Amino acid sequence: MALPPLVEPAAELSVDEIRRYSRHLIIPDVGMDGQKRLKNAKVLAVGAGGLGSPALLYLAAAGVGTLGIIDFDTVDESNLQRQIIHGVSDVGTPKAESAARSIAEINPLVNVIIHNTALDRDNVKEIFSQYDLIVDGTDNFATRYMVNDAAVLLGKPYVWGSIYRFDGQASVFWEEHGPCYRCLYPEPPPPGMVPSCAEGGVLGVLCASIGSIQVNEAIKLITGIGEPLVGRLMVYDALEMEYRKIKVRKDPNCALCGENPTVTDLLEDYEDFCGAVSEEAQEAITGSTITARELKDWQDSGKDIFLVDVREPAEWEINRIPGATLIPKGEILSGEALAKFPQDRQIVLHCKSGVRSAEALAALKAAGFKDAVHVQGGIVSWVNTVDPSLPSY
């Protein structure tokens, strides 16, 4: 359905702006009026990573007058495969500042506001209230639910995107005109079921595909043209080169925007709501967690260890801890690999960051391996504290 323009038009365009945006101005549906609305718009990008990078570049190029960037992370070499707003010279610098410099090169007429901080319960409402529209490029469920809840409570529309390996999704959530994120996903997935891009990977160019869709939707909302993805979910399969649209209806029983809402303010703890690990895994790792340094000490002392890497084969090819045996988590959870575990040796599990090994540890303990432990922080911690010569990813 068509919606009225989100933003009032600016008073005028300068001669420089008319020259710069001429290809927009000659499109009848955009024209001077639409470009003036873009100039007057204030858009916040949550994250300057995989989705935020192309989104920010195209929002700036389109002439959005004020762009806010909130990101507390720094640029890492592994980001450069997909986060095209950053370059080699930006490694180690705050992403928000790096992104602002790139935007200035693309379009110095844009006013950039940097929020070099973590988005949290205490600041999300205050920051969101400064903007007309939110573009959400976050990659974790806790922040996604917080962004949604804050947007609904403030009456703000936001454009959502998600990417994983070869698959992407995008939609527009605006409680006044359609469903919210909780209508689509009332509850977060079970902990450990959906790996992050850091654990599962993502095709770099997929970020551009979904980020561009997000900007397209933002422009439509700001100018009031076309039919935004309100009440529709766009699903993209890069391998099959297939786009599908799925209708998403407003849920009358939604905890946030339904007829009898039970969520009337921001949650106290979104991490707890989404759960870093399951209750079973949390119980399993209590008293059964060692550090990477302790693992190294055990190895140096000659302790009889059966060290198991529960990552996937592709990750195993990148780096590995000496002496480890690869047994992917899925084979442990299914019970397929339980016969491979000895009863008379100290079992130590590790993954990339500690989440998957915690889930695998719970399965092992349930199968009777009560003395098994896992490595806190996984191979990331090993690289950082024991062997920095190993490549990271």
Beta bridge partners of 292: none
Beta bridge partners of 170: 161, 234
**CA 293/CA 321 separation, integer angstroms:** 12
User: Apex CA 76: angle with CA 73 and CA 82, to 5°?
Assistant: 100
Q: H or E segment at 380?
A: helix 378-385
Q: Are 134 and 157 in contact (CB under 8 A)?
A: yes
Q: Which of 343, 313, 341, 339 lies closest to 326 in space, CA to CA?
A: 313
Task: Return the axis-axis angle of helices 52-62 and 204-223, rounded to nearest 10°.
Answer: 40
For strands 133-136 and 111-115, give the pairing: unpaired
Q: Would you please indicate which residues are annotated as catalytic (active-site) residues?
A: 197, 351
Half-sphere exposure of 62 (CA within 13 A, CB side): 29
Question: How does DSSP classify residue 208?
Answer: H
CA distances 117 to 74, 95, 171, 301, 393, Å, are 11, 11, 26, 43, 24
Q: Tell me the three state secondary structure of residue 280.
A: helix
**CA 88/CA 269 separation, integer angstroms:** 36
CA distances 119 to 33, 116, 124, 147, 268, Å, are 34, 9, 6, 9, 14
Half-sphere exposure of 270 (CA within 13 A, CB side): 19
**CA 242/CA 205 separation, integer angstroms:** 15
Q: Where are the alpha helices (DSSP H) in the chain?
A: 15-20, 22-25, 31-40, 52-62, 95-106, 124-128, 141-154, 181-184, 197-200, 204-223, 270-274, 279-285, 292-301, 313-318, 329-333, 355-366, 378-385
Q: How many other CB atoms are there within 10 angstroms of residue 232's CB atom?
A: 17
Q: Where are the alpha helices (DSSP H) in 63-138?
A: 95-106, 124-128
For residue 181 the two structure tokens come to 């994120």
Question: How does DSSP classify residue 338?
Answer: G
